[in-house]
Structure 1
């Protein structure tokens, strides 16, 4: 059986939907914190099991009989390592044969502060003795959806990335890659640096929005501290605003760029473009 943690989340749900194309539903386990949020998955025949990263006893039950598991990294920054440790230990105890982990692009050399918990989790998995695959994902293009409304209202995209390039891809592309690894053979020990085929700057993001919307949109670059303060003024918690601002300056140093094409090779097609993803989103707003 193949299990996916965080299965009611955006990435986990897409991974399961992709797995259903080739794997019998009763051989897929959706591990979720709240089973009421996965009734659609249960209706499709997938086994839905309750499992909370912070409650190890639930994970032991959730992973029974599982041979491969996708550990979708926790969204609780600052608590990730301990939560991931619980999943890894439960997987080892359950006799899981392969653990795939969603890490961050070039985790071992990344200038982004977000990378630290990913590096520590990767080492934790290595030390466990489990056969592993690291899916080092670049940014999701969907990360920018929250900025679209503001950009169209103000005519500005804000950031601190300068001319830094983002090799972002759609969440669906990363999901297809994860499913390919989970259903493939001889994956143990592999590390994939997964990124979109066409990198873009935030100025190019603004230009694409302008073209698609017919409204003037320009990129405004800030220093990291100024951008953090701007995000706080928009209502973001200071800690999260700091992470976003630091991620932009990390991107300015090349931390979110990769041109090796591993993602498109893994999914056996070109990755979705910034234009196509934004166009589809604008059609819904």
Structure 2
């Protein structure tokens, strides 16, 4: 049996959709914090368990009888993220799970400038220490996450950011398909994977150029100071901790932490990963609102 956590999120739901076409529903369970959001999965015959990384007792029930568990990383940072991931890994081990898959990041490193990359590296150490067979899926930087930096690019014709550099922006759908393949073919990966990335990188300046072509108007890329960006982000309603994380992300981008391309994802998909335009064009035609992928 396979258990997928975070199954109502964009990534987890795509993984479940991919699995249900390849394994019987009776061999697939999902773990979610809010079962009301998973009624569509229940209708497909998938067992839905209410569970949270913060409540180990609920995980014990959700993981009972599972051979494989896909742990979708928690949407928090720092010590809290590592604590929650450790709790989930221990619960899987205690339940007798034979194989744990974890959604890491292409740039996971204890020396990264950005917190989430350090968190993923620390979680990978917990996986190594668990004694359970594991796969750490070093997913490329979600292309969808870049859209939140584009702001009102259609109206202003300007993209103003505090840093730039090459990033292998990778579609979430492609990464979910890779996870499906790894769950179905247990010999595909072992341990920490090579980065699962798109076939090329883009800078934000290049993204501005793509937007200009799509909108048939000038779009200017402008480098601004960290403080100017901070004030603008706070005015847009971003919480201070998120702003700090974003500034560290741009510092990491400037240092080429995400300037990584490998052929691994292409080999798994048996096709070229989708191009960045696959998320940019719907964003631009939808009035600057990121689409749910």
Tell me which interval the TM-score lies in, with the shorter structure as reference length: over 0.9
Within 1, Cα distance between the matches of 2:174 and 2:42? Answer: 24
Within 2, Cα distance between the matches of 1:219 and 1:198? Answer: 20
CA-CA distance at 1:144 after TM superposition = 2.8
Residue of structure 2 equivalent to 1:42: 42
Within 2, Cα distance between the matches of 1:246 and 1:44? Answer: 42
Residue of structure 2 equivalent to 1:82: 83
Say which of 262, 265, 268 aligns to 2:264: 262
Residue of structure 2 equivalent to 1:22: 22
Residue of structure 2 equivalent to 1:236: 238
CA-CA distance at 1:232 after TM superposition = 1.6
* 1:96-111 matches, cutoff 5 A: 96-108=97-109, 110-111=112-113
Unaligned runs of 5+ in 1: none
Residue of structure 1 equivalent to 2:282: 280
Q: Verify the 8 A CA contact 1:195 1:257 in the aligned structure 2.
A: no
Residue of structure 1 equivalent to 2:8: 8
Say which of 199, 202, 224 aligns to 2:201: 199
CA-CA distance at 1:152 after TM superposition = 1.1
Q: Verify the 8 A CA contact 1:112 1:255 in the aligned structure 2.
A: no
Within 2, Cα distance between the matches of 1:161 and 1:138? Answer: 19
Give aligned pairs, total: 284
Q: Per the alignment, do residues 117 and 190 of structure 1 end up closer, same or farther by CA in structure 2, a change over 3 Å counting?
A: closer
SS of 1:207's equivalent in the other structure is helix
TM-score (norm 2): 0.92
What RMSD in Å do the two structures reach over aligned CA positions? 1.6
- CA-to-partner distance for each residue in 1:89-140, whole Å, 9 max, x for gaps? 1100111111111111131264323212111111111111111111112211
Give the stretch that moved more between structures: 266-275 or 189-198.
Answer: 189-198
SS of 1:193's equivalent in the other structure is coil
Q: Verify the 8 A CA contact 1:104 1:115 in the aligned structure 2.
A: yes
SS of 1:135's equivalent in the other structure is strand
Give the stretch that moved more between structures: 199-208 or 108-117.
Answer: 108-117
Residue of structure 1 equivalent to 2:140: 138
Say which of 92, 113, 116 aligns to 1:114: 116
Within 2, Cα distance between the matches of 1:250 and 1:141? Answer: 16
Unaligned runs of 5+ in 2: 288-293
Q: Verify the 8 A CA contact 1:7 1:16 in the aligned structure 2.
A: yes
CA-CA distance at 1:83 after TM superposition = 0.9
Residue of structure 1 equivalent to 2:174: 173
- CA-to-partner distance for each residue in 1:3-59, whole Å, 9 max, x for gaps? 111111111001111112211122111110010000011111222111111111100
Within 2, Cα distance between the matches of 1:73 and 1:233? Answer: 29
Give the stretch that moved more between structures: 218-227 or 22-31.
Answer: 218-227
TM-score (norm 1): 0.94
Q: Per the alignment, do residues 137 and 161 of structure 1 end up closer, same or farther by CA in structure 2, a change over 3 Å counting?
A: farther
Q: Verify the 8 A CA contact 1:224 1:246 in the aligned structure 2.
A: no
